[in-house]
Structure 1
Amino acid sequence: MIDPDTNEITSHGKPLIVMKGVSKKYDTPSGTFSVLKNISLEVKCGEFVAVVGKSGSGKSTLINVITGIDSPTSGEVYAASTAIHALNQEELAIWRGQNVGVIFQFFQLLPTLTVAENVMLPMDFCHTYPARERRERAIALLEKVGISEQADKLPSDLSGGQQQRAAIARALANNPPILVADEPTGNLDSQTTDVILELFAGLAKEGKTVIMVTHERDLSRFFTRSILLSDGAILAEKPGVTTYA
């Protein structure tokens, strides 16, 4: 549940994301191609959910529909109490800036801005915090992910793991209830991967809802639940080892 005044999650266990009969189709020269097929899914506050599947299974399309980057051909999508499927592009951009933090495989940090300036950028776009408070908040978030000493460096001066932590701090900038990560550990070694996933698990324990796309199937110890996609449909769901009271 989200407090409308503070944008804070006030309790665990409530469905934050609901998909009802969602399908996504594309028209191609060779005919209609179905990427998602009648997906129904609920994700609760405070869950850390892995979306697993082979390339082409529909993983990225699924999270793009959840975040409003893509629109379903049919079905309904609700996230943070908002009917995502009913919003126009301008409304989606505003909603997404306030409610969703996105973490990419290749970090997507702006190379000419310092790490702190990268973290401040979402606050600058959405005006969620007064200008005088933004750097202080950026430093606090960088401290949260363990790299506050890198605040005034350029991204190129950081290791891959440090850049991914900076990207996570940036995703947290506007205090969104939902974090979405698309293959965030694909370019990281196994030790750094564990550190990043422990960070995600900690954020979920604090109340964030984290959805992560991954090819890996041996990381269930970090997740509250894993969803296996195959050919655009949910093939199986498995509880993870991690659970939060």
Structure 2
Amino acid sequence: MRVLIADDEALVRGGFRVLIDNEPGMIVVGQAADGATAVDLARQTRPDVVLMDIRMPGVDGLRATRQIADDPDLADVHVLILTTFDHDEYVIEALGAGAAGFLIKNTEPRQLLHGIRVVTGGEALLSPGLTRRLIARLTHRTPRLDADALAQLTAREKQVVGLVAHGLSNTDIANALTISHATVKTHVSRAMTKLGARDRAQLVALAYQHRLVEPPDPAP
């Protein structure tokens, strides 16, 4: 797994590099101290995952994430936001910009490595504790999809989207519905296409925003 690190603190970049390079099957292919450099290096190195800090000089992490997401040549590059700030607005902006995941920097090393694997596989990742607050914020926002877009979903696709929104992986969904892993992937892919979601993170956001699944109890 090829990883690009974007953070304006050299010590942070160095620590992440040691952790990742010592993990079997992972390698750091570049480091950037600002968003503009991160985008340039993403185009040069084509990493599987970009570990992206939010607050960086010049082009910040959110703008850099949007530029990567909007570049069709970087469709296979997944951005994992890694920051000290877990403010809800940052999470919403990051997902809206096209990030595949969001973790706080004080995350345990094993969770960071797990996060890299998850987003490399095309699945969404949110830091523990953020999901319920994110859901609460999104469900009170003005819907961005019209009824025609929502009506395109089949009953099975809605069911699968609901399970995705509750955090189940494709394997979990396949086991729960007694269908094949490939069938789950097909349903997820079709739902993303119909709703205009770039990745699973945006699919989850849309699912709660448009009440395709009821949000969980906001109590911790």
* TM-score in terms of structure 1 length: 0.27
Bigger share in strand: 1
* TM-score in terms of structure 2 length: 0.29
Bigger share in helix: 2
